[in-house]
Amino acid sequence: MSTLSHPARATDGDRLRAVATRLATHGSDRDPDWIATVERWVEDASTGFTGARIQTYVPLLVEHIVRDRIAATTAAQTTST
């Protein structure tokens, strides 16, 4: 009789931290203030899904929300300079 081994599953917090890290450092190394801002945006976006029945896609949805916010912020900074 064989047993199936299951890889350790990442917790929701781990997956959201990975999203924040990926987005904050995308393209180049950013300063600590930028990283903290992106982490805060990820946390803010994820709270909207706290009561969701299905949590599987929350990190993906949060990533899209924060990616859009980064794009809007970058566009605003580009037009103001």
d(CA 20, CA 39): 5
CATH architecture of the domain with range 12-80: Orthogonal Bundle (1.10)
Write the burial class of residue 17 (CB in 10 Å: 0-12 exposed, 13-18 middle, 19+ buried): middle
Average pLDDT, the chain: 82
Closest residue by Cα to residue 38 from 63, 14, 12, 13: 63
Q: What is the tens place of the pLDDT at every residue in 4-35?
A: 443 445 677 889 999 998 888 876 667 888 88
> Residue range 63-77: average pLDDT?
91
pLDDT computed for residue 22 by the predictor: 87
Distances (CA, A) of 19 to 4, 15, 23, 56, 79: 29, 6, 6, 14, 27
Per the listing, tokens 């605003």 go with: 76
What's the pLDDT at 60?
94
| pLDDT level of residue 3 (50, 70, 90 thresholds) | very low
